[in-house]
Structure 1
Amino acid sequence: MITTEQIAGALADRGLLLEAQRGAAAAVTRLTCDSRQVCPGAMFICKGAAFRPEYLAEAARRGAASYISERALPEGRGLKLLLVSDIRKAMAAAAACYFGYAPGCPKLTGITGTKGKTTTAWYLKAMLDAWMHEEHRPETGLLSTIRNYDGNEWSDAVMTTPEPVELHEFLARTVKNRLLYTTMEVSSQALKYKRVRELRFQVGIFLNISEDHISPQEHEDFEDYFSAKLSMFRQCDTACVNLDSDHAQRILKAARKAGHVVTFGRHPHADLRCSNIRTGENGTSFTVSCATFTESFTLAMKGRFNIENAMAAIAAAYVYGVPVQCMKQALAQTRVPGRMETFASRDGKICGIVDFAHNRLSFEKLFDAVFQEYSSYKKIITVFGCPGGKALNRRRELGLLAGLFSDYVMITSDDPGKECPEKIAEEIRRYVEMTGCGCGFSQERKDAVALAVRKAAQYGEKTMILLLGKGCERYQKTGEGLQEYPTDAALMQEAIRTYEGFTFQEKCLIMEAS
């Protein structure tokens, strides 16, 4: 059992503790920043800009014995105070102490980048799992944008990288369940706000970079965003760097903070070089050459851009010593929910792709893949929206890209939060229409997909519908909080089934209506 004195000592060792009230050491029964989770003997963390003193008052009523804060508060009278200089750093340090984090237990891979973190994480987990299966050991852990696995159960993710208390509690469960490896996505927000500060990554992967998450609530500009991501290298034993990324030389310079650097990509100087790329209706294959092997790999997932994600996973697996046959087996079998999921009508006239693409880089790569790999489809309809209150640059960038590469754009809701969906749509519409592309709006995502399928039927020729932004998420963020909502895959399947239920005469009438 961890005591208040042990947590105070951990904070003091890091130069964060300004003052600790005297008193007998007491066992800390729970560490939390959520007043609703407080139990007798808990230590409460007064966290962040959204903190209100009444949260501490509620924690005291529920039996908290101590609290961590950047200032003494009247609501905490009678509770032992650990006064700290930086609450974000202190929260990470306290969580690491309370849950007994030890670097290398489990071996941890951190993945950052603007696009592809989730797919790379699933690819690497599958490679490590295949290896562990051969060794008769448990499969490995995962912390991703969509689902998490701690060695005992799968759970839906709430955020890409959890806050320190939830993060260290998760890692403690992986140790209890005797997992040797865990793969996790590391967001720019997690790095900026020090959620992962206490972690040591045995391998850190930097995939790519483009402008994203620029808003008053996230990053003030691209430099702030880029610098946050580069800071991960300070916590890495080995850095895996994509030489094909924009700003690759700057990324390499920052990677020198890691103990060792391994590069990957199509670049001739990459340590793991990709060549002989072949794409077609039967899938995607490519060759990887390095100091120890030259092998051909095949992807189960469509999308040429997934080669970059596969190369990143291969590079990390190479560092760990995963056998090549395990890498090949994983890539040939792995599909990621909500990423390049494809649904086609029986008559072949309509194909729908569901993908999490939600920023400029992912839109660019997705449209490239569609033009290269689905050339038999003559029309493209894109259905998407932008979130409320954040990543404001997406409205312009995605509106322009969708307009340039689509025959029609249907704007809809995508986590509007407290912002008016019509206002968000109007901003996007302005940029779509700059390109001369037709554009519509339906606030209800289900209706937007149905209208897109009806529009495709009017064309009377093979049409691709891209439903982008939500992937396999089962909720919408509205002004009332998280609201359960069907996945994009369910919406696409329902709309296509409805189309298939039309009689020949009805389809003719729809075409005539165009």
Structure 2
Amino acid sequence: MALSLASAARLLEEHHLLREIVQGSCWTLNPADIDGHDKAFDAITYDTREVKPGSILVAKGHFKKEFLEGIDGKGLACYVATEEFSDVTSAPGLIVDNASEALSLLSAEFYDRPQDKLTMIGITGTKGKTTTAYFTQALLNAVSGGKAALFSSVDNCLDGHTYVESDLTTPESLDAFRMMHTAVENGMKYLVMEVSSQAYKVNRVYGLTFDVGAFLNISPDHISPIEHPTFEDYLYCKRQITANSRKLVLNADHAYASLVRQDAAKDDVPVTTFALRLESDNDNADASAPKTAPANVTIRPDDPRHQSFTAVWSDKADDGSSRLGNPAVAEPSVVKTATDSKVLANGISLSMLGDFNYANAAAALAIATAAGMDVSNHPEVIKAMEKVRVAGRMEQFKDQQSDTVAIVDYAHNFASVRALLDFVDERYGAKHPRITLVTGSAGNKAYDRRKEIVEAAQSRVENFIFTAEDTDTEPFIDICMEMQGYITAPDRSSTVISNRTTAVTNAVYDARAHADRFNVILIIGKGNERWIKEHNKHTPFEGDDRIIERMFAASDNSAGTPAGR
């Protein structure tokens, strides 16, 4: 249905957002009082610079009425705002309680509710969202013949195979629905998307219901004046995925699993659980969670070196009851069969390094199962997941001139840095490596990360190189000096090099200078990004991975090709 002033007013009223309709001296609740109330809008935007004849403009965020000067000359048909602007425009205004909520609802309608034509998968958590999203997309693509779209913090994919760098973890609502509409036009049947805490905080996914939502884990992050004021607020925003999903996939070792289960019970949302189990289960559970909680999907290593894993499905959830019910069949050839226990896949050998990525694989398998798929008889589906590489995540390179390995990763907080170092211990601990960490931290937000990164690393890292990461207005050097000041462990070397290219280059030369030992260089925070944000502008940057490739002369490509690149 085409969106008009009349239909927009009805929709906003249904959601208790509409205050009144204003045009000059006419203040009304009846759209019919406005001339042209049934004429369809030709465009929708939240940027006055994009207004063209027939546009509806949603004035969200820190909007100033000065932005509307001369707007009538552009052909504005209607605006939506929390205040009326009759003194600067003759266009009718839909006055609402919340502009960002209105934007999401109106965008969905303008693009003909594309979410209703897709099986929607939403994934949240502090870490692992991107990798789990790529694994899930690979599973769905393998089953559906390449009909799974993806929204991630790394790339967006609207046709099942073409990946374009993204700007946000979760797109602004209007952009998301526009891309969903394109995905539907491209024949997509599924959409896998990361859902950030900010997406719920600022209503980017307002009114959107996921067929399957997944809550992977939680640990303190994104706490700052411009993100979440407290951990409680961060957790609360993450928890909103439960009420906005028809089914929920949950980490059995989730630190707040009991609370999330209460959310699910309150809204009658069935829960499917997953878990990674190593030699010592208690070492892998979040500190405040019950140890070794049973799970529907459990993944375990097949060998002491963790070179392959087996995933098993159990029809009994950890409360002893079947949680899946009877999910709809996603494809004619893929039918879930309810049994007490069965092997989903054995001999799984991922291209992506680290035990934590097998936890992400377990999550993806649980998501696929909750979506109505039985992957146990489809080894080609598992093979598709095994081949996945996410650009800039756990990419390993071997120096051709010294006994040095470098790993490029997006790790940026306590939990992800600790997981990365755990992998180094597991893979290289017997060689007693000299570890260098090249790191910075984001400016103007998430201030706690600066100390947490150092605290997570300093017991195992011998050499720190602090360097530029993304910032709005804070000087790189100030952030680096602050982080350097958090080092308390004795006998730790540290250097501040604000130019990131120079910092990575220095790390390589320093490792070669210590050729009497095996060296591991960890370069975290930026992955394969080709820019650094400084003073709110994106400055071109070669990329951590490309610097290492160039310095090492040849990369270790045995692990596969990064996804989307």
Q: Same fold (TM over 0.5)?
A: yes
Give the Cα–Cα distance (whole angstroms) in 1 for the partners of residues 74 and 484 of structure 2: 50
Which is helix-richer, 1 or 2?
1
Q: Give the deviation of 1:473 after TM superposition.
A: 1.4
2:263 matched to which residue of 1? Answer: 254
The gaps in structure 1 that reach 5 residues or longer are: 500-514
SS in 1 for 2:355: coil
Give the Cα–Cα distance (whole angstroms) in 2 for the partners of residues 81 and 106 of structure 1: 32
Aligned partners of 2:44 and 2:107 also within 8 Å: yes
51-60 or 192-201, which moves further after superposition?
51-60
2:26 matched to which residue of 1? Answer: none
Match of 1:308 among 352, 356, 359: 359
Give the Cα–Cα distance (whole angstroms) in 2 for the partners of residues 351 and 396 of structure 1: 26
1:186 matched to which residue of 2? Answer: 195
SS in 1 for 2:389: coil
2:527 matched to which residue of 1? Answer: 471
Aligned partners of 2:114 and 2:184 also within 8 Å: no
Match of 2:55 among 14, 19, 42: 42
1:328-353 CA distance string (max 9 Å, x none): 21232111111110110125511110
1:337-380 CA distance string (max 9 Å, x none): 11110110125511110001111111111111111012235110
Q: Give the deviation of 1:226 after TM superposition.
A: 0.3
Give the Cα–Cα distance (whole angstroms) in 2 for the partners of residues 192 and 64 of structure 1: 29
SS in 1 for 2:465: strand
SS in 2 for 1:431: coil
Match of 1:288 among 289, 292, 312: 312
Match of 1:337 among 388, 391, 413: 391
SS in 1 for 2:228: coil
1:146 matched to which residue of 2? Answer: 154
1:307-329 CA distance string (max 9 Å, x none): 11111100011122143324421
- Asked whether 1:217 is paired with 2:226, we answer yes
Change (3 A) 1:285 1:273: closer
Give the Cα–Cα distance (whole angstroms) in 1 for the partners of residues 304 and 141 of structure 2: 27
Give the Cα–Cα distance (whole angstroms) in 2 for the partners of residues 147 and 394 of structure 1: 24
Give the letter for the 2:375 counterpart: P
Give the Cα–Cα distance (whole angstroms) in 2 for the partners of residues 42 and 372 of structure 1: 57
TM-score by length of 1: 0.92
Give the Cα–Cα distance (whole angstroms) in 2 for the partners of residues 484 and 347 of structure 1: 28
Change (3 A) 1:434 1:416: farther
SS in 2 for 1:236: coil
2:425 matched to which residue of 1? Answer: 371
Give the letter for the 1:28 counterpart: F
Give the Cα–Cα distance (whole angstroms) in 1 for the partners of residues 489 and 413 of structure 2: 19
Aligned partners of 1:208 and 1:245 also within 8 Å: yes
Aligned partners of 2:301 and 2:308 also within 8 Å: no
Change (3 A) 1:441 1:497: farther
2:253 matched to which residue of 1? Answer: 244
Give the Cα–Cα distance (whole angstroms) in 1 for the partners of residues 169 and 126 of structure 2: 12
Percent identical among aligned pairs is 31
TM-score by length of 2: 0.84
Match of 2:273 among 250, 263, 267: 263
Match of 1:446 among 501, 504, 526: 501
The number of equivalent residue pairs is 493
1:18 matched to which residue of 2? Answer: 19
Give the Cα–Cα distance (whole angstroms) in 2 for the partners of residues 382 and 61 of structure 1: 55
- Asked whether 1:272 is paired with 2:297, we answer yes
396-405 or 382-391, which moves further after superposition?
396-405
Give the letter for the 1:487 counterpart: G
Q: How does 1:415-454 map to 2 (within 5 A)?
A: 415-433=470-488, 436-454=491-509
1:400 matched to which residue of 2? Answer: 455
Give the Cα–Cα distance (whole angstroms) in 2 for the partners of residues 156 and 70 of structure 1: 33
Aligned partners of 1:274 and 1:289 also within 8 Å: no
Q: Give the deviation of 1:244 after TM superposition.
A: 1.7
Give the Cα–Cα distance (whole angstroms) in 1 for the partners of residues 401 and 7 of structure 2: 67
Q: Give the deviation of 1:140 after TM superposition.
A: 0.9
1:260-298 CA distance string (max 9 Å, x none): 110111445211122345464x84423423234213122
1:98 matched to which residue of 2? Answer: 110
Give the letter for the 2:4 counterpart: T
Give the Cα–Cα distance (whole angstroms) in 2 for the partners of residues 361 and 175 of structure 1: 37
1:70 matched to which residue of 2? Answer: 82
Give the letter for the 1:192 counterpart: K
Give the letter for the 1:200 counterpart: T
Aligned partners of 2:418 and 2:457 also within 8 Å: no
Give the Cα–Cα distance (whole angstroms) in 2 for the partners of residues 322 and 62 of structure 1: 54
Give the Cα–Cα distance (whole angstroms) in 1 for the partners of residues 532 and 72 of structure 2: 33
Q: Give the deviation of 1:186 after TM superposition.
A: 0.1
25-34 or 146-155, which moves further after superposition?
146-155
Aligned partners of 1:359 and 1:394 also within 8 Å: yes
Give the letter for the 1:369 counterpart: F
Give the Cα–Cα distance (whole angstroms) in 2 for the partners of residues 129 and 469 of structure 1: 29
Q: Give the deviation of 1:227 after TM superposition.
A: 0.4
The gaps in structure 2 that reach 5 residues or longer are: 23-32, 278-291, 316-338, 556-565
SS in 1 for 2:553: helix
Q: Give the deviation of 1:12 after TM superposition.
A: 1.0
Aligned partners of 1:350 and 1:464 also within 8 Å: yes
